[in-house]
Amino acid sequence: MEKLKMYEALNWASSYLEDHDREAFAAELLLRHITGLNRTSFFMELREELSDDHLKAFGFALDQHVQGVPVQHIIGYEEFYGRRFHVNGDVLIPRPETEELIWYMFDRADRIFDKKKNVLAVDIGTGSGVISITMKLERPDWQVTATDLSTAALIIAKKNAESLKADVNFLEGDLLQPLEGRKFDVFLSNPPYIPHSDISTMSEIVTEHEPHSALFADEEGLILYRKMSEQLPQHMNRPGLIGFEVGAGQGKTVAALLKKAFPEDHTEVIYDINGKDRMVFCELL
């Protein structure tokens, strides 16, 4: 039997995934993972033959994804802010929207703190650690703390911090509870915000493979924003910056919660690249 060239396997796999309501681009990610090639080398070798072992492994990976296993769980990582983060079923898979949250935060923080050293930053509900680790690596002079309620998630976060050489202080506990008596200059959080009622409309790739504790929240997804907004006044320095990632349609409500907690300060809703209200910031004067 004639061997398949890589581009032939890629074309076939892309169509196979689309026929099963999966993203065609996943085929490239899986084939690069199987062959161990970076994107440049991969495209240079597209006309090379695929070995029998690689073809067999590729077919198995495709079937896993068709059955609902996220690509990131098959290959073991996700790219975020130009870095590779290990992920598994204990943590939320990082999304591009969270990269925007961090970018907008840096844009504001650099203006507010104007090259100040030792900015005290905290990330609540760190999961795989993408927010806290990115903060530390992009701003090495900052002192970064991160919390999570999940022991299993913190294991992954610490593993990522170690592999990426990021000095982050990880604490286990619920929301701001581990931070008693401490104040911060920058506060970021991407908490669970999906209403439980939305589960029936979501892909099984998400609902069956990512931790529900990192996805869903009570009070139509708003309970954790309310709790944190109530606790934040005793944990923030001035000047200071608070940033939340929110679900589409939640921006005004979350902004109102922050406005209630900080009535004299500037609160704004920011829309993401897709035009959805996705971030809420509060600048403490």
Q: Report the binding-site residues for S-adenosyl-L-methionine.
A: 125-129, 148, 190
- Residue positions in the annotated binding site? 125-129, 148, 190-193
Is the dihedral angle over the CA atoms 139, 140, 141, 142 positive or is it negative? positive
Query: How far is Cα 122 from Cα 263, in angstroms, rounded to an integer?
Result: 22
Instruction: Give, in order, the Cα–Cα distances in Å from 278 to each of 106, 171, 235.
Output: 16, 26, 24
Interaxial angle between packed helices 223-231 and 251-261, expressed in degrees from 0 to 180 and rounded to the nearest 10? 20
Cα 123–124–129 angle (5° rounding)? 60
d(CA 129, CA 159): 9
**DSSP label at residue 199:** G
Beta bridge partners of 216: 194
Residue 124 has φ and ψ, to the nearest 5°, of -100, 130
Question: Which residues pair with residue 114 across a beta bridge?
Answer: none
Q: CB–CB of 146/157 below 8 Å?
A: yes
Chain mean position to CA 107: 19
- Do 51 and 10 touch, CB atoms closer than 8 A? no
Contacts with 20 (C-beta within 8 Å, 6 or more apart), sequence order: 66
Q: Which two tokens stand for residue 7?
A: 């581009």
Determine the distance from the C-alpha atom of residue 176 to the mean position of all C-alpha atoms in its chain, rounded to a whole number. Answer: 19
Which residues fall in the annotated binding site for substrate?
A: 190-193
